């Protein structure tokens, strides 16, 4: 799930309530600090039974707030000052008891009081409890009330639980929660829209073990999937072979060849509304006409006969030519003469926006630079981490959507 990013320091007030999943808050704290954020931890008394405050103090670099009657601040107003200084209030794990007290507006301990005093601070709760507890009507009512009050609930996930049962109730993993937290600060430019994108290379088999491919890692496409999800879109990622983990919050359709990618894109376009199509995949231009059975054996002093090639379909051009075409964004990975080749590709594909970059300077890297080409001309975007660039591209796309103009 890792995506290269540029750190923008934010202040996160991390609340921890009582539950076995409290141990995950240690890793979440570490990830937040590693990402460049400042973390202030506040724990309930029950949480201290599962993980020690000293551990969280060491990881965050700050004394842990524990008791409303023994405040950290000389003013004695921890329940006001801590939350008003924060850029986000996060509770992970959020137990069934914490959800109930927050939904009812109770202020019987420091963490509950912080939730009461949050005012306009973006707030996220990560529920964690037994599957039966999460399914209980009272807990579901509390969750619905909190959502109606503007609180974001992240999860819970489904899987094996500490009690040995399997079902919905697990707290999201720390890395997924990092995504959820950072999404709190992103404008919802694509809220309610559906984005379909392709990413990664394709692999065109020659025999059972060999084939044609390219050096694309998929990192730019993964970053775009995350940025679109952060912006509020429903995201479907049609992904070629990649070592990257599936991005959180995104539905992934795994493919191998260009023909499989084309079919997956067509299936998605026919199955549901699509508002934006981003063709970030490095699709192989050709494929062997015939796939040899088994493995072609190496014979000393004799080279194998090279395969006869045939052209792969142009997925982007086909989508752009549809009568119900979504807003289409293409990518051009060139090795030289970037502007000349990218201009020609945009005209040939018939797309409103094309992103040009130099393949040897982006494949496998954690950063990228590009040029945007549309009917009005070209504009360069400087080299930056791919997630930062993806967020910029989402802004550019959103500004060009007919429904979002004016």
Q: Using CA atoms, how far apart are residues 81 and 51, in angstroms rounded to an integer?
A: 25
Host H or E run for residue 176: helix 174-183
**Residue 363 has what DSSP assignment?**
T
Q: Using CA atoms, how far apart are residues 222 and 390, in angstroms rounded to an integer?
A: 9
Tokens of 336: 């030289």
Question: For residue 321, is it left (φ>0), alpha (ψ between -120 and 50) or beta?
Answer: alpha
| Start-to-end C-alpha separation, the chain | 36
The yes-or-no answer on residue 163 being catalytic is yes
Tell me if 316 sits within 8 A of 265, measured CB to CB: no
Question: DSSP letters along 27-59, please?
Answer: HHHHHHHHTT-EEEEEE-TTGGGTS-HHHHHHH
Q: Between the CA of residue 257 and those of 202, 238, 260, 287, 313, what are the distances in Å?
A: 5, 11, 5, 9, 11
- In the set 104, 163, 328, 370, the catalytic residue is 163
Tell me if 124 sits within 8 A of 151, measured CB to CB: yes
Strand ranges inside 171-291, DSSP E: 194-199, 204-205, 211-212, 234-239, 251-254, 276-279, 286-288
Question: For residue 350, is it left (φ>0), alpha (ψ between -120 and 50) or beta?
Answer: left
CA 78 to mean position of chain CA atoms:
33
In the chain, helix, strand, coil percent, each to 5?
A: 35, 25, 40
Tell me if 204 sits within 8 A of 257, measured CB to CB: yes
Q: Using CA atoms, how far apart are residues 359 and 363, in angstroms rounded to an integer?
A: 6
Query: Active-site residue numbers?
Result: 163
């Amino acid at each position: 799930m890792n995506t290269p990013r540029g750190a923008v320091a934010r202040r996160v007030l991390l609340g921890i309530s009582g539950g076995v999943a409290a141990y995950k808050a240690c890793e979440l704290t570490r990830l937040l600090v590693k990402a460049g954020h400042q973390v202030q931890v506040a724990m309930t008394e029950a949480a201290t039974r599962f993980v020690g405050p000293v551990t969280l103090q060491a990881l965050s670099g700050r004394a842990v707030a524990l008791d409303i009657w023994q405040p950290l601040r000389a003013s004695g107003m921890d329940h006001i000052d801590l939350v008003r200084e924060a850029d986000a209030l996060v509770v992970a794990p959020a137990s069934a008891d914490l959800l109930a007290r927050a939904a009812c507006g109770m202020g019987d301990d420091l963490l509950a009081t912080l939730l009461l005093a949050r005012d306009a601070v973006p707030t996220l709760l990560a529920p964690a409890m037994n599957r039966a507890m999460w399914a209980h009507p009272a807990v579901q009512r509390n969750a619905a009330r909190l959502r109606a009050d503007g609180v974001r609930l992240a999860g819970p996930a489904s899987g094996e639980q500490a009690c040995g049962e399997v079902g919905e109730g697990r707290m999201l993993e720390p890395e997924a929660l990092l995504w959820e937290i950072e999404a709190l600060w992103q404008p919802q430019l694509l809220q309610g829209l559906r984005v379909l994108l392709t990413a990664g290379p394709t692999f065109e088999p020659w025999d059972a073990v060999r084939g044609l491919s390219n050096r694309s890692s998929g990192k730019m496409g993964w970053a775009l999937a995350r940025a679109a999800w952060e912006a509020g879109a429903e995201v479907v990622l049609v992904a070629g072979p990649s070592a990257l983990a599936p991005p959180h919050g995104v539905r992934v359709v795994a493919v191998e060849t260009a023909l499989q990618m084309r079919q997956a894109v067509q299936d998605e376009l026919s199955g549901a509304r699509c508002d934006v199509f981003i063709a970030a995949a490095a699709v192989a231009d050709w494929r062997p006409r015939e796939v040899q059975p088994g493995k072609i054996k190496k014979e000393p002093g004799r080279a194998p006969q090279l395969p006869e090639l045939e052209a792969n379909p142009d997925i982007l051009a086909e989508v752009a030519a549809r009568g119900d075409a979504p807003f289409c964004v293409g990518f051009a990975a060139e090795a030289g003469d970037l502007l000349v080749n990218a201009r020609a590709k945009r005209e040939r594909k018939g797309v409103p926006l094309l992103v040009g970059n130099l393949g040897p300077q982006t494949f496998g890297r954690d950063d990228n630079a590009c040029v945007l080409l549309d009917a009005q001309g070209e504009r360069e975007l400087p080299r930056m981490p791919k997630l930062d660039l993806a967020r910029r591209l989402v802004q550019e796309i959103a500004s060009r959507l007919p429904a979002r103009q004016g």
